[in-house]
Amino acid sequence: MNQNLYSLLAAHFPQDPAAPCMVLPDDRVWTYGDVERASGRMANLIVALGLKPGDRVAAQVEKTPEALVLYLAAIRAGMVFLPLNPAYQRHELEFFLGDAKPGLFVCRPQQRMLAAELANELATKAGVPHVLELDDHGCGSLIDAATRHADAFATVPRAKDDLAAILYTSGTTGRSKGAMLSHGNLAHNARTLHDYWHFQPGDVMLHMLPTFHVHGLFVACHTTLLNGSAMFFEPKFDAARAMKLLPQSTVFMGVPTYYVRLLLDPVFGRQTCRNIRLFVSGSAPLLKETFDEFKARTGHTILERYGMTEGGMFTSNPYDGERRGGTVGFPLPGTSLQIVGAGGTAIKPGAVGQIQVKGDNVFVGYWGMPEKTKEEFTADGYFRTGDMGSFDAEGYVTISGRSKDLVITGGLNVYPKEIEELIDAMPGVVESAVIGLPHPDFGEAVTAVVVRQKNAAGAALTESGIIAAIKDKLANFKVPKWVYLVDELPRNAMGKVQKNILRKTYSPMTGR
Ligand code: AMP
């Protein structure tokens, strides 16, 4: 049977081809018929360029309907889609293209010069035969070339394990790795989330996430397409636009920063959210304070879920049952999640250990890295996520952070979250990040980087004051040796605090 993800999605497109799929900021509408025809044209073009099923199509493009359709065209034609963050610079691009060796690289008009330059270079160096711009202005662009092709395209049959996409991990330590996701992986997660989050006819998604990442491209788009419903397709998150569109939407998916920004608007409240049935948060931890304040202001309980590039979503707070702030809920149906101690030993509820997952959504492996892939799986097929966490007595999972962010001081483990929570609860503190910095005696010294509020309580915060306030609540080895007060924490496009940058920034200061 054909397991091509596009066939699954298309089987759920509305009967009426005039039904809206994407509504744009200028009110233009892409119907499901438009999506079907445009993806057909692009798929025909990709095939005419000489690409064969399994070849990679890399795209470093802005978030537009055409960009989403390019993704659908690529999987329809049996190619492997490789979305790249538009922020990547030349040397990063060279790495990704050299590593994945796509048959086609689709770029942005801003990169016309770079593209022209890269075209020759890449053709020889990285083995990329075709470089095209996506946009519709330049002649010779992909969209322009696709207009010369037929709308009709017979979706290429694919097996469950055939690759649909490669997403490069952000690579905050070491080299970025290409996570290979199969049609079966993506289909499994799309179906699970569609059911678990009760997608229903008439839903309207407010889509403000980037589409080079699992959250925006897979979680938000697949659930909508599988539902055959519409989404406001916005180029990026913008609080003022969200205020305007939320009243016309039923589902919103965001990273925690979006929720924090919405709460900054004093008008944001129950009225703004009157038609929403579901707010989803993920990709980074949602502070309990944000969860609580959101509930108080809007009456809505944000549903927090947890997952990663290497397998989509693993856990979710329940749709119907209690959604618990500070937790990421239960393993999703079809995902087996275990938390183990060092060496894979079983641990008690409440104890922090390494999170491992298994299921049809878990990726196939890292592109071109069979040894690394092997290392990351246990003998019985569990993927080592690199996240630390715990189960509570009722089975809710709490994430304590990445294992590489664990601080080991004097041979003892310190989980940053425990200290961050104490600091965050202090008056005048917006948020904090706890890291380990090299220390001659302890190996690593617990260090807190604290964002203060712009008010009197924030101004009153001092390094010694913060240490004194939490000293009695923590074993001595966990008490920060150093505290830095800052205006904000560095975050990536998905709202994740970049602790690697903090470690780099503050390391030279450790000799003080
Ligand atoms: P990415 O592959 O970019 O989606 O990043 C995945 C990582 O983000 C996970 O391994 C977690 O460390 C983190 N993450 C995702 N969702 C959550 C969440 N709800 N709470 C805490 N961390 C999260």
Q: For residue 199, tell me if it sits in a domain.
A: no
Of 209, 281, 283, the one to substitute when testing ligand 1's pocket (max ligand atoms within 8 A of C-beta) is 283
- Quote the number of domains for the chain: 2
Q: 381 lies in a domain? A: no
Tell which of 158, 178, 213 closes a domain.
Answer: 158
Residue at 266 is within a domain: no
Our mutation pick for probing the ligand 1 site, out of 281, 308, 356, counting the most ligand atoms within 8 A of Cβ, is 308
Question: How much distance in Å is there from the Cα of 308 to the middle of ligand 1?
Answer: 5
Could you give the residue ranges of the DSSP H alpha helices within 411-459? Answer: 416-424, 456-459
Nearest residue by C-alpha to atom 15 in ligand 1 = 283
Q: What domain range is 446 assigned to? A: 407-510
Encode the chain (512 residues) as per-residue pLDDT tens digits: 799 999 999 999 999 999 999 999 999 999 999 999 999 999 999 999 999 999 999 999 999 999 999 999 999 999 999 999 888 878 788 889 999 999 999 988 766 666 667 666 766 777 788 888 888 565 578 988 999 999 999 999 999 999 999 999 875 555 789 999 999 999 999 999 999 999 999 999 999 999 999 999 999 999 999 999 999 999 999 999 999 999 999 999 999 989 999 999 999 999 999 999 999 999 989 989 899 999 999 999 999 999 999 999 999 999 999 999 999 999 999 999 999 998 888 899 899 999 999 999 999 999 999 999 999 999 999 999 999 999 999 999 999 988 889 898 888 889 899 899 999 999 999 999 999 998 887 889 999 999 999 999 999 999 999 999 999 998 889 999 999 999 999 998 888 899 999 999 998 554 44
Rounded to two decimals, the pTM is 0.91
Give me ligand 1 centre to Cα 306, in Å: 6
At 56 the three-state DSSP class reads strand
Ligand 1: list residues with CB < 6 Å. Answer: 169-170, 214, 282-285, 304, 306, 308-309, 328, 385, 387, 399, 402, 494
Q: Give all strands (DSSP E) within 360-498, no chain letters.
A: 365-366, 383-391, 397-402, 407-409, 412-414, 429-439, 443-452, 482-486
Counting ligand 1 atoms within 8 A of each CB, the residue from 169, 361, 363, 496 with the most, and so the one to mutate, is 496
Contact between 255 and 307 under an 8 Å Cβ cutoff? The reply is: no
- Residue 292: Cβ within 10 Å count: 14
- Nearest Cα residue to atom 20 of ligand 1: 285
Question: Ligand 1, from 332, 387, 497: best to mutate by most atoms within 8 Å of Cβ?
Answer: 387
> Is residue 467 one of the residues assigned to a domain?
yes
On whether the CB atoms of residues 243 and 265 are closer than 8 A, the answer is yes
- Name residue 225's beta-bridge partners: none
Strand positions, DSSP E, 60-201: 80-83, 104-107, 130-133, 163-168, 178-182
Task: Give residue 494 CA to ligand 1 midpoint distance, Å.
Answer: 9
Give the distance (Å) from ligand 1 centre to CA of residue 167: 15
Instruction: Give the tokens for residue 202.
Output: 């008439």
**pLDDT score of 139:** 59
Per-residue pLDDT of 90-128, as tens digits, reads 878 888 999 999 999 998 876 666 666 766 676 677 778
Q: Which of 107, 130, 158 is the last residue of a domain?
A: 158
Beta strand extents in 156-196 (DSSP E only): 163-168, 178-182
Question: Residue 37 domain-assigned?
Answer: yes
C-alpha 118 – ligand 1 centre gap (Å)? 33
| Residue 501 belongs to a domain | yes
Q: Which of 291, 306, 499 to mutate to test the pocket of ligand 1 (most atoms within 8 A of CB)?
A: 306
Q: Assign residue 452 the CATH number of its domain.
A: 3.30.300.30
Mutation probe of ligand 1 site: the residue of 399, 405, 421 with most atoms within 8 A of C-beta: 399
Q: What pLDDT, on a 0 to 100 scale, did the predictor assign at position 427?
A: 95
Q: How many angstroms separate the Cα of 308 from the Cα of each of 179, 314, 387?
A: 10, 8, 10
Q: Look at residues 158, 180, 202 and tell me which one is the last residue of a structural domain.
A: 158
Please give the distance of CA 263 from its chain centroid, rounded to a whole number: 22
Which residue has the least CA distance to atom 23 on ligand 1? 284
Please report the pLDDT score of residue 510 as a whole number.
46
18 Cα to the center of ligand 1, angstroms: 37
At CA 14, angle to CA 13 and CA 17, rounded to 5? 100
Q: How far is the centre of ligand 1, averaged over its atoms, from the C-alpha of 282 (Å)?
A: 7
**Ligand 1 centroid – CA 139 distance (Å):** 41
pLDDT of the residue at 253: 98
Reduced 3-state DSSP string for 269-280: CCCCCCCCCEEE
Q: Tell which atom from ligand 1 comes closest to the C-alpha of 385.
A: 10
- The residue whose C-alpha atom lies closest to atom 8 belonging to ligand 1 is 283
Kindly state whether residue 419 falls inside one of the protein's structural domains. yes
The predicted pLDDT at position 210 comes to 95
**Span from the CA of 385 to the centroid of ligand 1 (angstroms):** 10
Structure tokens given for 435 = 């890291």
Q: Look at strands 278-281 and 303-308 and give their pairing.
A: parallel
Report the separation in Å between the CA atom of 236 and the middle of ligand 1, taken as the mean of its atom positions. Answer: 20
Structural domain includes residue 423? yes
Protein residue with least CA distance to atom 10, ligand 1: 308
Query: CATH number of the domain that 47 lies in?
Result: 3.40.50.980
Q: Do 127 and 120 meet the contact criterion of CB atoms below 8 Å apart?
A: no
Contact 68, 218 (CB under 8 A): no
Ligand 1 centre to CA of 414 (Å) is: 19
CA 283, 418, 392 angle in degrees (round to 5)?
75
pLDDT score, position 479: 95
Closest approach atom of ligand 1 to CA 310: 2
Spacing, Cα 323 to ligand 1 middle (Å): 18
